[in-house]
Chains A and B, each alone.
Chain A
Protein backbone atom coordinates (compact mmCIF):
# COMPACT_ATOMS: atom_id res chain seq x y z
CA UNK A 1 0.00 0.00 0.00
CA UNK A 2 1.20 3.48 -0.88
CA UNK A 3 -0.26 6.76 0.33
CA UNK A 4 -3.99 6.28 0.21
CA UNK A 5 -7.04 8.06 1.44
CA UNK A 6 -10.38 6.46 2.10
CA UNK A 7 -13.07 7.11 -0.44
CA UNK A 8 -15.81 9.11 1.25
CA UNK A 9 -19.36 8.53 2.18
CA UNK A 10 -20.22 6.91 -1.17
CA UNK A 11 -18.21 3.95 0.03
CA UNK A 12 -20.20 3.57 3.22
CA UNK A 13 -23.36 3.60 1.11
CA UNK A 14 -22.04 0.75 -1.00
CA UNK A 15 -20.95 -1.14 2.09
CA UNK A 16 -24.38 -0.73 3.62
CA UNK A 17 -26.31 -1.76 0.54
CA UNK A 18 -24.33 -4.77 -0.48
CA UNK A 19 -23.03 -7.88 1.19
CA UNK A 20 -19.32 -7.36 1.07
CA UNK A 21 -16.05 -9.05 1.67
CA UNK A 22 -13.49 -6.50 2.83
CA UNK A 23 -9.80 -6.97 2.11
CA UNK A 24 -7.30 -4.69 3.79
CA UNK A 25 -3.72 -4.48 2.62
CA UNK A 26 -1.22 -2.67 4.81
CA UNK A 27 1.77 -4.15 3.02
CA UNK A 28 3.98 -1.11 2.47
CA UNK A 29 3.18 0.08 5.97
CA UNK A 30 6.23 2.28 6.21
CA UNK A 31 4.44 4.66 3.85
CA UNK A 32 0.94 5.57 5.02
CA UNK A 33 -2.37 3.84 5.42
CA UNK A 34 -5.59 5.21 6.88
CA UNK A 35 -6.15 2.31 9.29
CA UNK A 36 -8.27 4.22 11.79
CA UNK A 37 -10.46 5.70 9.09
CA UNK A 38 -11.01 2.28 7.56
CA UNK A 39 -12.00 0.77 10.90
CA UNK A 40 -14.38 3.67 11.47
CA UNK A 41 -16.04 3.12 8.10
CA UNK A 42 -16.31 -0.60 8.69
CA UNK A 43 -17.88 -0.06 12.08
CA UNK A 44 -20.58 2.10 10.51
CA UNK A 45 -21.26 -0.50 7.87
CA UNK A 46 -21.07 -3.49 10.14
CA UNK A 47 -24.41 -5.05 9.10
CA UNK A 48 -23.43 -5.95 5.60
CA UNK A 49 -19.80 -6.88 5.96
CA UNK A 50 -19.72 -10.63 5.62
CA UNK A 51 -16.10 -10.97 6.33
CA UNK A 52 -13.04 -8.83 6.59
CA UNK A 53 -9.41 -9.47 6.88
CA UNK A 54 -5.94 -8.12 6.52
CA UNK A 55 -4.09 -9.56 3.57
CA UNK A 56 -0.85 -7.76 2.94
CA UNK A 57 0.86 -7.40 -0.43
CA UNK A 58 -2.27 -7.86 -2.52
CA UNK A 59 -0.10 -6.58 -5.38
CA UNK A 60 1.63 -9.97 -5.45
CA UNK A 61 -0.66 -12.07 -7.58
CA UNK A 62 0.61 -15.37 -6.19
CA UNK A 63 -0.15 -14.25 -2.61
CA UNK A 64 -3.56 -12.93 -3.53
CA UNK A 65 -4.46 -16.06 -5.41
CA UNK A 66 -3.79 -18.02 -2.22
CA UNK A 67 -5.80 -15.58 -0.06
CA UNK A 68 -8.75 -15.84 -2.39
CA UNK A 69 -8.59 -19.62 -2.44
CA UNK A 70 -8.73 -19.54 1.33
CA UNK A 71 -11.76 -17.22 1.12
CA UNK A 72 -13.53 -19.30 -1.53
CA UNK A 73 -16.59 -20.02 0.60
CA UNK A 74 -17.06 -16.41 1.63
CA UNK A 75 -16.72 -15.27 -1.96
CA UNK A 76 -19.74 -17.38 -2.89
CA UNK A 77 -21.86 -15.52 -0.36
CA UNK A 78 -20.98 -11.90 -1.11
CA UNK A 79 -22.07 -9.60 -3.92
CA UNK A 80 -19.00 -7.42 -3.91
CA UNK A 81 -15.48 -7.19 -2.61
CA UNK A 82 -14.19 -3.92 -1.19
CA UNK A 83 -10.42 -3.58 -1.27
CA UNK A 84 -8.50 -1.11 0.87
CA UNK A 85 -5.18 -0.95 -0.96
CA UNK A 86 -3.41 0.95 -3.69
CA UNK A 87 -4.70 0.73 -7.25
CA UNK A 88 -2.44 -2.21 -8.06
CA UNK A 89 -3.93 -4.33 -5.25
CA UNK A 90 -7.48 -3.60 -6.39
CA UNK A 91 -6.66 -4.51 -9.98
CA UNK A 92 -4.94 -7.76 -9.03
CA UNK A 93 -7.96 -8.84 -6.97
CA UNK A 94 -10.42 -7.93 -9.74
CA UNK A 95 -8.30 -9.78 -12.30
CA UNK A 96 -8.48 -12.93 -10.18
CA UNK A 97 -12.24 -12.76 -9.51
CA UNK A 98 -13.68 -11.11 -12.64
CA UNK A 99 -17.15 -12.47 -11.82
CA UNK A 100 -17.53 -10.35 -8.66
CA UNK A 101 -17.55 -6.53 -8.59
CA UNK A 102 -14.39 -5.29 -6.89
CA UNK A 103 -14.60 -1.81 -5.39
CA UNK A 104 -11.63 0.30 -4.37
CA UNK A 105 -11.86 1.62 -0.79
CA UNK A 106 -9.09 4.16 -1.28
CA UNK A 107 -7.70 6.74 -3.65
CA UNK A 108 -3.99 6.24 -4.21
CA UNK A 109 -1.93 9.41 -4.05
CA UNK A 110 1.23 10.28 -5.86
CA UNK A 111 4.41 9.74 -3.93
CA UNK A 112 7.85 10.68 -5.21
CA UNK A 113 10.25 7.87 -5.89
CA UNK A 114 8.07 5.08 -4.59
CA UNK A 115 6.03 2.75 -6.75
CA UNK A 116 5.32 -0.18 -4.43
CA UNK A 117 7.25 -3.31 -3.71
CA UNK A 118 6.77 -5.67 -6.62
CA UNK A 119 6.50 -5.05 -10.33
CA UNK A 120 3.19 -6.18 -11.84
CA UNK A 121 1.56 -6.18 -15.23
CA UNK A 122 -1.26 -4.02 -13.88
CA UNK A 123 -0.26 -0.47 -13.12
CA UNK A 124 -1.38 2.38 -10.86
CA UNK A 125 -0.37 5.93 -11.75
CA UNK A 126 -1.31 7.16 -8.29
CA UNK A 127 -3.72 9.72 -9.75
CA UNK A 128 -5.46 10.21 -6.40
CA UNK A 129 -8.98 9.70 -7.81
CA UNK A 130 -9.32 5.91 -8.18
CA UNK A 131 -11.70 5.14 -11.07
CA UNK A 132 -11.71 1.36 -10.61
CA UNK A 133 -15.18 1.39 -9.04
CA UNK A 134 -16.74 2.47 -12.34
CA UNK A 135 -14.52 0.45 -14.68
CA UNK A 136 -14.86 -3.09 -13.42
CA UNK A 137 -11.50 -2.97 -11.67
CA UNK A 138 -9.48 -2.23 -14.83
CA UNK A 139 -7.65 1.10 -14.75
CA UNK A 140 -8.66 3.37 -17.67
CA UNK A 141 -5.61 5.55 -17.17
CA UNK A 142 -2.98 2.85 -17.44
CA UNK A 143 -4.79 0.37 -19.72
CA UNK A 144 -5.86 2.98 -22.34
CA UNK A 145 -2.98 4.60 -24.21
CA UNK A 146 -4.86 7.93 -24.17
CA UNK A 147 -5.93 7.52 -20.55
CA UNK A 148 -9.56 8.18 -21.52
CA UNK A 149 -12.15 8.29 -18.74
CA UNK A 150 -15.42 8.32 -20.70
CA UNK A 151 -15.22 5.26 -22.93
CA UNK A 152 -13.16 4.12 -25.89
CA UNK A 153 -11.93 6.25 -28.78
CA UNK A 154 -12.78 4.95 -32.25
CA UNK A 155 -9.27 3.73 -32.92
CA UNK A 156 -9.35 0.10 -31.79
CA UNK A 157 -9.28 -2.54 -34.52
CA UNK A 158 -10.25 -6.10 -33.59
CA UNK A 159 -10.03 -5.15 -29.94
CA UNK A 160 -6.43 -3.93 -30.26
CA UNK A 161 -5.15 -0.42 -29.55
CA UNK A 162 -4.34 1.93 -32.45
CA UNK A 163 -1.00 2.69 -30.82
CA UNK A 164 0.17 -0.89 -30.47
CA UNK A 165 -1.53 -3.85 -32.16
CA UNK A 166 -0.12 -6.14 -29.46
CA UNK A 167 -1.97 -4.22 -26.77
CA UNK A 168 -5.63 -4.85 -25.96
CA UNK A 169 -7.93 -1.83 -26.07
CA UNK A 170 -8.33 -0.98 -22.38
CA UNK A 171 -11.92 0.16 -22.84
CA UNK A 172 -12.68 -3.02 -24.75
CA UNK A 173 -11.53 -4.95 -21.68
CA UNK A 174 -13.47 -2.68 -19.33
CA UNK A 175 -16.65 -3.11 -21.36
CA UNK A 176 -16.24 -6.89 -21.48
CA UNK A 177 -15.69 -7.04 -17.72
CA UNK A 178 -18.65 -4.76 -16.93
CA UNK A 179 -20.87 -6.75 -19.26
CA UNK A 180 -19.89 -9.99 -17.55
CA UNK A 181 -20.74 -8.36 -14.22
CA UNK A 182 -24.08 -7.18 -15.62
CA UNK A 183 -23.00 -3.58 -15.09
CA UNK A 184 -22.48 -2.33 -18.67
CA UNK A 185 -25.38 0.08 -18.25
CA UNK A 186 -23.32 1.82 -15.60
CA UNK A 187 -21.18 3.31 -18.40
CA UNK A 188 -24.24 5.05 -19.78
CA UNK A 189 -25.23 6.48 -16.41
CA UNK A 190 -21.73 7.53 -15.45
CA UNK A 191 -21.07 11.26 -15.03
CA UNK A 192 -18.73 13.04 -17.46
CA UNK A 193 -15.37 12.20 -15.91
CA UNK A 194 -12.54 14.72 -15.95
CA UNK A 195 -9.23 14.37 -14.15
CA UNK A 196 -8.01 16.76 -11.48
CA UNK A 197 -4.28 17.20 -11.98
CA UNK A 198 -3.92 19.33 -8.88
CA UNK A 199 -3.74 16.18 -6.82
CA UNK A 200 -0.51 15.10 -8.48
CA UNK A 201 1.04 18.57 -8.58
CA UNK A 202 0.26 19.32 -4.93
CA UNK A 203 1.49 15.88 -3.92
CA UNK A 204 4.82 16.65 -5.54
CA UNK A 205 5.08 20.04 -3.87
CA UNK A 206 4.78 18.51 -0.41
CA UNK A 207 7.80 16.26 -0.83
Chain B
Protein backbone atom coordinates (compact mmCIF):
# COMPACT_ATOMS: atom_id res chain seq x y z
CA UNK B 1 0.00 0.00 0.00
CA UNK B 2 1.22 3.48 -0.75
CA UNK B 3 0.81 6.57 1.43
CA UNK B 4 -2.50 7.54 -0.15
CA UNK B 5 -3.97 4.06 0.29
CA UNK B 6 -2.78 3.82 3.89
CA UNK B 7 -4.40 7.14 4.75
CA UNK B 8 -7.56 6.09 2.99
CA UNK B 9 -7.64 2.89 5.03
CA UNK B 10 -7.27 4.84 8.24
CA UNK B 11 -3.76 3.66 9.11
CA UNK B 12 -1.96 6.06 11.45
CA UNK B 13 0.96 6.94 9.16
CA UNK B 14 4.48 8.03 9.98
CA UNK B 15 6.54 10.19 7.69
CA UNK B 16 10.06 11.38 8.31
CA UNK B 17 12.32 13.70 6.42
CA UNK B 18 15.60 13.85 4.54
CA UNK B 19 17.34 17.19 4.13
CA UNK B 20 19.72 16.81 1.17
CA UNK B 21 23.30 17.95 1.89
CA UNK B 22 25.22 20.85 0.41
CA UNK B 23 27.22 18.72 -2.00
CA UNK B 24 26.88 15.30 -3.52
CA UNK B 25 27.38 13.16 -0.43
CA UNK B 26 23.82 11.83 -0.30
CA UNK B 27 24.45 8.15 0.44
CA UNK B 28 24.72 8.46 4.25
CA UNK B 29 21.26 10.08 4.23
CA UNK B 30 19.80 7.33 2.07
CA UNK B 31 21.35 4.71 4.34
CA UNK B 32 19.87 6.37 7.41
CA UNK B 33 16.46 6.24 5.73
CA UNK B 34 16.95 2.59 4.81
CA UNK B 35 17.74 1.84 8.42
CA UNK B 36 14.21 2.89 9.52
CA UNK B 37 12.26 2.24 6.36
CA UNK B 38 10.23 -0.58 7.90
CA UNK B 39 8.78 1.78 10.47
CA UNK B 40 8.31 4.84 8.29
CA UNK B 41 5.66 5.03 5.57
CA UNK B 42 7.27 7.78 3.51
CA UNK B 43 10.16 10.23 3.56
CA UNK B 44 9.78 13.88 2.74
CA UNK B 45 12.69 15.35 0.83
CA UNK B 46 13.09 19.05 1.48
CA UNK B 47 13.57 21.52 -1.37
CA UNK B 48 16.56 23.74 -0.57
CA UNK B 49 15.37 23.97 3.03
CA UNK B 50 15.84 27.37 4.70
CA UNK B 51 16.66 28.77 1.23
CA UNK B 52 20.15 27.23 1.41
CA UNK B 53 21.62 25.95 -1.88
CA UNK B 54 21.87 22.15 -1.75
CA UNK B 55 21.41 18.95 -3.66
CA UNK B 56 17.93 18.88 -5.20
CA UNK B 57 14.82 17.22 -3.82
CA UNK B 58 13.85 15.71 -7.19
CA UNK B 59 17.07 13.68 -7.56
CA UNK B 60 17.04 12.63 -3.92
CA UNK B 61 13.39 11.57 -4.13
CA UNK B 62 14.25 9.46 -7.14
CA UNK B 63 17.10 7.74 -5.26
CA UNK B 64 14.58 6.78 -2.57
CA UNK B 65 12.29 5.27 -5.21
CA UNK B 66 15.21 3.27 -6.57
CA UNK B 67 15.90 1.88 -3.10
CA UNK B 68 12.29 0.83 -2.67
CA UNK B 69 11.24 3.67 -0.37
CA UNK B 70 8.39 6.09 -0.83
CA UNK B 71 9.34 9.77 -1.10
CA UNK B 72 7.26 12.89 -0.58
CA UNK B 73 8.83 15.31 -3.05
CA UNK B 74 8.75 18.84 -1.62
CA UNK B 75 8.54 21.58 -4.19
CA UNK B 76 8.57 25.31 -3.40
CA UNK B 77 7.76 28.32 -5.55
CA UNK B 78 10.86 30.27 -4.53
CA UNK B 79 13.29 29.19 -7.24
CA UNK B 80 11.31 28.27 -10.33
CA UNK B 81 8.85 30.03 -12.58
CA UNK B 82 5.67 28.37 -13.86
CA UNK B 83 7.40 26.63 -16.77
CA UNK B 84 10.06 25.03 -14.57
CA UNK B 85 7.55 24.07 -11.86
CA UNK B 86 5.26 22.28 -14.30
CA UNK B 87 8.21 20.63 -16.00
CA UNK B 88 9.63 19.39 -12.69
CA UNK B 89 6.24 17.95 -11.76
CA UNK B 90 6.22 16.00 -15.03
CA UNK B 91 9.82 14.91 -14.37
CA UNK B 92 8.82 13.71 -10.91
CA UNK B 93 6.08 11.61 -12.45
CA UNK B 94 8.40 9.81 -14.89
CA UNK B 95 10.90 9.21 -12.07
CA UNK B 96 8.26 7.25 -10.16
CA UNK B 97 7.42 9.98 -7.65
CA UNK B 98 3.79 10.24 -6.70
CA UNK B 99 3.57 12.19 -3.45
CA UNK B 100 4.14 15.91 -3.89
CA UNK B 101 4.19 18.41 -1.04
CA UNK B 102 3.60 21.89 -2.39
CA UNK B 103 4.84 24.94 -0.49
CA UNK B 104 5.30 28.63 -1.20
CA UNK B 105 8.81 28.47 0.30
CA UNK B 106 10.95 30.65 2.54
CA UNK B 107 12.18 33.92 1.11
CA UNK B 108 15.61 33.91 -0.56
CA UNK B 109 17.00 36.55 1.83
CA UNK B 110 16.77 34.05 4.72
CA UNK B 111 19.24 31.63 3.14
CA UNK B 112 22.89 31.50 2.13
CA UNK B 113 22.38 33.21 -1.24
CA UNK B 114 20.47 36.33 -0.13
CA UNK B 115 21.47 38.09 -3.36
CA UNK B 116 19.32 35.70 -5.41
CA UNK B 117 16.18 36.72 -7.27
CA UNK B 118 13.11 35.53 -5.38
CA UNK B 119 10.79 34.01 -7.99
CA UNK B 120 7.34 33.35 -6.45
CA UNK B 121 5.78 33.35 -9.92
CA UNK B 122 3.19 30.98 -8.42
CA UNK B 123 2.39 30.26 -4.77
CA UNK B 124 1.25 27.19 -2.85
CA UNK B 125 -2.38 27.59 -3.89
CA UNK B 126 -1.81 28.35 -7.56
CA UNK B 127 0.76 25.54 -7.85
CA UNK B 128 -1.67 23.07 -6.25
CA UNK B 129 -4.23 24.12 -8.85
CA UNK B 130 -1.69 23.76 -11.65
CA UNK B 131 -0.67 20.28 -10.43
CA UNK B 132 -4.34 19.29 -10.31
CA UNK B 133 -4.76 20.51 -13.88
CA UNK B 134 -1.74 18.45 -14.99
CA UNK B 135 -3.49 15.41 -13.52
CA UNK B 136 -6.45 16.27 -15.76
CA UNK B 137 -4.15 16.26 -18.78
CA UNK B 138 -3.80 20.02 -19.24
CA UNK B 139 -0.98 22.45 -18.62
CA UNK B 140 -1.85 25.73 -16.97
CA UNK B 141 -2.71 27.50 -20.21
CA UNK B 142 -4.94 24.65 -21.34
CA UNK B 143 -2.64 22.79 -23.73
CA UNK B 144 -3.09 19.00 -23.86
CA UNK B 145 -0.44 16.78 -22.31
CA UNK B 146 0.93 13.74 -24.08
CA UNK B 147 0.96 11.39 -21.09
CA UNK B 148 -0.78 12.38 -17.89
CA UNK B 149 0.85 12.28 -14.43
CA UNK B 150 -0.83 10.87 -11.32
CA UNK B 151 -0.01 12.60 -8.04
CA UNK B 152 -1.02 12.49 -4.40
CA UNK B 153 -0.90 16.20 -3.58
CA UNK B 154 -0.17 17.55 -0.15
CA UNK B 155 0.32 20.92 1.49
CA UNK B 156 1.36 22.37 4.82
CA UNK B 157 -0.57 24.08 7.57
CA UNK B 158 0.63 25.82 10.71
CA UNK B 159 -1.65 25.09 13.70
CA UNK B 160 0.04 27.70 15.90
CA UNK B 161 -0.24 30.52 13.37
CA UNK B 162 -2.08 33.64 14.52
CA UNK B 163 -4.75 34.45 13.52
CA UNK B 164 -5.82 30.82 13.28
CA UNK B 165 -8.94 31.55 11.23
CA UNK B 166 -6.73 32.96 8.47
CA UNK B 167 -4.68 29.74 8.48
CA UNK B 168 -7.87 27.65 8.31
CA UNK B 169 -9.16 29.79 5.49
CA UNK B 170 -5.97 29.18 3.53
CA UNK B 171 -6.13 25.47 4.36
CA UNK B 172 -9.61 25.34 2.89
CA UNK B 173 -8.42 27.08 -0.27
CA UNK B 174 -5.55 24.60 -0.55
CA UNK B 175 -8.03 21.73 -0.40
CA UNK B 176 -10.13 23.36 -3.07
CA UNK B 177 -6.99 23.71 -5.21
CA UNK B 178 -6.23 19.98 -4.84
CA UNK B 179 -4.47 19.26 -1.51
CA UNK B 180 -5.38 15.74 -0.32
CA UNK B 181 -3.19 15.58 2.79
CA UNK B 182 -1.51 18.05 5.13
CA UNK B 183 1.66 18.02 7.17
CA UNK B 184 1.91 20.59 9.94
CA UNK B 185 4.49 22.92 11.38
CA UNK B 186 6.09 21.60 14.59
CA UNK B 187 3.56 21.07 17.38
CA UNK B 188 4.54 21.35 21.06
CA UNK B 189 1.24 22.36 22.62
CA UNK B 190 -1.24 19.50 22.50
CA UNK B 191 -4.15 21.57 23.85
CA UNK B 192 -3.70 24.15 21.12
CA UNK B 193 -3.32 21.37 18.54
CA UNK B 194 -6.52 19.72 19.71
CA UNK B 195 -8.34 23.03 19.36
CA UNK B 196 -6.94 23.42 15.86
CA UNK B 197 -7.86 19.87 14.85
CA UNK B 198 -11.43 20.38 16.01
CA UNK B 199 -11.74 22.94 13.22
CA UNK B 200 -9.43 21.33 10.67
CA UNK B 201 -10.99 17.87 10.89
CA UNK B 202 -14.23 19.32 9.50
CA UNK B 203 -12.51 19.48 6.11
CA UNK B 204 -12.17 15.70 6.01
CA UNK B 205 -8.59 15.74 4.70
CA UNK B 206 -5.91 13.80 6.62
CA UNK B 207 -3.50 15.85 8.74
CA UNK B 208 -0.09 14.60 9.88
CA UNK B 209 1.07 16.42 13.03
CA UNK B 210 4.57 17.86 12.86
CA UNK B 211 7.28 16.76 15.30
CA UNK B 212 10.61 18.56 15.49
CA UNK B 213 13.16 16.99 17.85
CA UNK B 214 14.35 19.57 20.38
CA UNK B 215 18.13 19.59 20.63
CA UNK B 216 18.56 22.10 23.43
CA UNK B 217 16.78 24.75 25.48
CA UNK B 218 18.50 27.38 23.33
CA UNK B 219 16.99 25.89 20.18
CA UNK B 220 13.53 25.97 21.78
CA UNK B 221 13.94 29.60 22.78
CA UNK B 222 15.25 30.51 19.33
CA UNK B 223 12.23 28.89 17.68
CA UNK B 224 9.83 30.64 20.05
CA UNK B 225 11.33 33.97 19.08
CA UNK B 226 11.89 33.42 15.39
CA UNK B 227 9.93 30.57 13.87
CA UNK B 228 6.38 31.30 12.79
CA UNK B 229 3.70 29.24 14.48
CA UNK B 230 6.05 27.50 16.94
CA UNK B 231 5.50 27.82 20.68
CA UNK B 232 7.52 25.48 22.90
CA UNK B 233 6.01 25.49 26.42
CA UNK B 234 8.18 26.49 29.40
CA UNK B 235 7.96 22.93 30.75
CA UNK B 236 9.79 21.43 27.76
CA UNK B 237 12.37 24.23 27.76
CA UNK B 238 13.07 23.49 31.45
CA UNK B 239 13.34 19.75 30.79
CA UNK B 240 15.94 20.40 28.10
CA UNK B 241 17.77 23.00 30.18
CA UNK B 242 18.12 20.75 33.22
CA UNK B 243 19.43 17.74 31.25
CA UNK B 244 23.18 17.09 30.99
CA UNK B 245 24.47 17.50 27.45
CA UNK B 246 24.82 13.73 27.00
CA UNK B 247 21.27 13.16 28.24
CA UNK B 248 19.65 15.70 25.95
CA UNK B 249 18.81 13.20 23.18
CA UNK B 250 17.08 11.00 25.74
CA UNK B 251 15.00 13.90 27.07
CA UNK B 252 14.27 15.03 23.52
CA UNK B 253 13.03 11.54 22.62
CA UNK B 254 10.87 11.53 25.76
CA UNK B 255 9.27 14.88 24.80
CA UNK B 256 8.68 13.78 21.20
CA UNK B 257 7.08 10.50 22.26
CA UNK B 258 4.82 12.31 24.74
CA UNK B 259 3.64 14.56 21.92
CA UNK B 260 3.16 11.67 19.49
CA UNK B 261 1.13 9.67 21.99
CA UNK B 262 -1.01 12.74 22.58
CA UNK B 263 -1.55 13.21 18.85
CA UNK B 264 -2.67 9.65 18.19
CA UNK B 265 -6.35 10.28 18.73
CA UNK B 266 -6.32 13.72 17.15
CA UNK B 267 -4.95 13.36 13.63
CA UNK B 268 -4.16 10.87 10.86
CA UNK B 269 -0.46 10.46 11.46
CA UNK B 270 2.77 12.23 12.33
CA UNK B 271 5.52 13.87 10.37
CA UNK B 272 8.92 13.79 12.10
CA UNK B 273 11.44 16.47 11.17
CA UNK B 274 14.68 15.30 12.83
CA UNK B 275 16.84 18.19 11.47
CA UNK B 276 20.10 16.24 11.67
CA UNK B 277 19.05 13.92 14.49
CA UNK B 278 17.84 11.17 12.16
CA UNK B 279 19.70 8.62 14.30
CA UNK B 280 17.23 9.17 17.15
CA UNK B 281 14.10 8.58 15.05
CA UNK B 282 14.01 4.83 15.83
CA UNK B 283 14.13 5.64 19.57
CA UNK B 284 11.31 8.15 19.17
CA UNK B 285 9.17 5.60 17.35
CA UNK B 286 9.88 2.89 19.87
CA UNK B 287 9.14 5.16 22.82
CA UNK B 288 5.87 6.13 21.12
CA UNK B 289 4.79 2.52 20.78
CA UNK B 290 5.55 1.90 17.09
Do A and B originate from a single complex? yes
Decide if A151 touches B126 in the complex (CB within 8 Å). no
Q: How many residues of A contact B (CB 8 A)?
A: 28
Contact with A along B111-147 (1 / 0, CB 8 A): 0000000101111111001000000000010000000
Q: Which chain A residues have a beta carbon within 8 Å of chain B's beta carbons?
A: 145-159, 162-163, 171-172, 175, 184, 187-188, 192-195, 197
A140 CB to nearest B CB, Å = 10
Chain B: interface size category = 35 or more
- Is there a chain A Cβ closer than 8 Å to B173's Cβ? yes
CA distance A188 to B123 in the complex (A): 16
Decide if B166 touches A151 in the complex (CB within 8 Å). yes
Q: List 25 A-B contacts (CB under 8 A).
A: A146-B104, A148-B104, A149-B123, A149-B126, A150-B123, A151-B166, A151-B170, A152-B170, A153-B105, A153-B123, A153-B124, A155-B228, A157-B228, A162-B110, A162-B228, A163-B109, A171-B166, A184-B169, A187-B169, A188-B169, A188-B173, A192-B129, A193-B126, A194-B82, A197-B121
CA distance A154 to B103 in the complex (A): 9
Decide if B126 touches A192 in the complex (CB within 8 Å). yes
Decide if B107 touches A151 in the complex (CB within 8 Å). no
CA distance A175 to B168 in the complex (A): 13
**Nearest chain-A residue to B156 (Cβ)?**
A154
Residues of A within 8 A of B170 (CB): 150-152
A180 CB to nearest B CB, Å = 13
CA distance A194 to B185 in the complex (A): 26
**Nearest chain-A residue to B225 (Cβ)?**
A157
Which 5 residue pairs of A and B lie closest in terms of their CB atoms, listed nearest first? A150-B125, A153-B104, A146-B120, A154-B158, A151-B170
Residues of A within 8 A of B122 (CB): 194
- Is there a chain A Cβ closer than 8 Å to B106's Cβ? yes
CA distance A155 to B167 in the complex (A): 11
Residues of B within 8 A of A172 (CB): 166
Decide if A163 touches B227 in the complex (CB within 8 Å). no
Contact of A194 among B126, B156, B165 (CB under 8 A): B126
Decide if A162 touches B126 in the complex (CB within 8 Å). no
Decide if A154 touches B161 in the complex (CB within 8 Å). yes
Contact with A along B201-235 (1 / 0, CB 8 A): 00000000000000000000000001111000000
CA distance A111 to B107 in the complex (A): 28
Contact of A163 among B110, B162, B173 (CB under 8 A): B110
Contact of A146 among B118, B140, B157, B185 (CB under 8 A): B118
Residues of B within 8 A of A184 (CB): 165, 169
